[in-house]
Amino acid sequence: MNRATLNLWVGIFVVGGFIALLFLAFKVGNFAGGNLGETYSVVAHFDNIGGLKASAPVKSSGVLVGRVMSIQFDTKKYDALVTIRLDKRIPFSSDTMASVLTSGILGEQYVGLETGGEVEMLKEGSEITHTQGAMVLEKLIGQFFISKSQESGEGAK
Amino acid sequence: MLSKIKNDVQNVGHLTLELISGIGAVFVFLIVTLSHSATSFQRFSLTIREIFFSGVLSLIIILVSGLFVGMVLGLQGYETLQTYGSSDSVGVLVALSLTRELGPVVSALLFASRAGSAITAEIGLMKATEQLSAMEMMAINPIARVVGPRFWGGVLSMPVLTAMFISTGVLGGYMIAVLLIGVDSGAFWSQMNAAVDFSHDVLNGLIKSFVFGLAVCAIATYQGYSAAPTAEGVSGATTRTVVSSSLAILALDLVLTAFMLKG
User: A134 or B59: whose pLDDT is higher?
Assistant: B59
- In this predicted structure, the answer to whether residue A40 has a pLDDT above a threshold of 80 is yes
Q: What integer pLDDT is reported at residue A62 of this predicted model?
A: 84
Distance CA B44, CA A29 (A): 34
- In this predicted structure, the answer to whether residue A141 has a pLDDT above a threshold of 60 is yes
pLDDT-derived band of residue A35, with 50, 70 and 90 as boundaries?
low
Q: What's the distance, CA B147 to chain centroid?
A: 18
Q: Convert the pLDDT of each residue in B124-145 to its tens digit.
A: 999 999 999 999 999 999 999 9
Q: Convert the pLDDT of each residue in B172-181 to its tens digit.
A: 999 999 999 9
**How far is the alpha carbon of A37 from chain B, nearest alpha carbon, in Å?**
16
Please tell me what DSSP assigns to residue A121.
B
Report the complex ipTM. 0.82
Closest CA to B50 of B244, B213, B258, B249: B213
When mean pLDDT is compared across A71-80, A145-154, B8-17, B220-229, the lowest value belongs to A145-154
Q: A41 φ, ψ to 5°?
A: -115, 140
Q: What percent of chain A stands above pLDDT 90?
A: 14
Domain containing B51 equals 2-262
Q: What integer pLDDT is reported at residue B185 of this predicted model?
A: 84
Distance CA B94, CA B170 (A): 6
Distance CA B90, CA B190 (A): 11
Average pLDDT, chain B: 92
Closest CA to B162 of B55, B72, B88: B55
Q: What integer is the mean pLDDT of B105-115?
A: 95
State how many domains chain B has: 1
What are the Cα distances from residue A42, in Å, to A60, A61, B178? 15, 19, 41
Chain A residues in contact with chain B using a Cβ-Cβ cutoff of 8 Å: 1, 3, 6-7, 9-10, 12-14, 16-17, 19-21, 23-25, 27-31, 33-34, 55
Exposed e or buried b for every residue in B114-132, given b needs 16+ CB within 10 A?
A: bbbbbbbbbbbbbbbeeeb
DSSP per-residue string spanning A9-72:
HHHHHHHHHHHHHHIIIIIIS-TTTT--SSEEEEEEEES--TT--TT-EEEETTEEEEEEEEEE
* Conformational region of residue B193, where left means phi above 0, alpha means psi within -120 to 50, and beta covers everything else: alpha
Cβ–Cβ gap A10/B59 under 8 Å: no
Q: Convert the pLDDT of each residue in A74-129 to its tens digit.
A: 899 899 999 998 888 888 888 889 998 887 666 678 889 988 888 888 888 888 88
pTM for the whole thing?
A: 0.77
Q: What integer is the mean pLDDT of A54-58?
A: 81
